[in-house]
Amino acid sequence: MTAPRTGLDRGGVSLIVRRACVRAGLAPCGSHRLRHSLACDMVRAGVPLQEIGQVSRHRDATSTSIYARVDIDQLRTVARPWPQGATR
């Protein structure tokens, strides 16, 4: 076999995950589902959202905050302060 000339892109990773699911007798799923499942498991284990964002390689804390939508205490760690003088 010849080594790849470039790194894997997300399409290549998803293809590998889908093929592995089929070989394991599971319904095919993409790499996003694995990433999402890991993040949800980390939230349940009490891992801080900042660390989940680092593992998930999110550039913005808002992307990570979707995993905290049911955990209000965790969501507060990424929420921005309410602007002074603003009304609700």
Question: pLDDT tens across 37-62, in order?
Answer: 888 888 889 888 889 889 988 888 88
Token pair for residue 63?
A: 């992307």
- Tokens 């499942």 belong to 37
pLDDT in tens, 4-29: 778 888 888 889 889 999 999 999 88
Q: Domain boundaries in the chain?
A: 31-80
Using DSSP's 3-state secondary structure scheme, residue 50 falls into helix
Residue 51 sits at the vertex; the CA angle it makes with 19 and 57, to the nearest 5 degrees, is 45
pTM: 0.59
- Hey, what amino acid is at 76? R
DSSP 85: T
Token pair for residue 28?
A: 């095919």
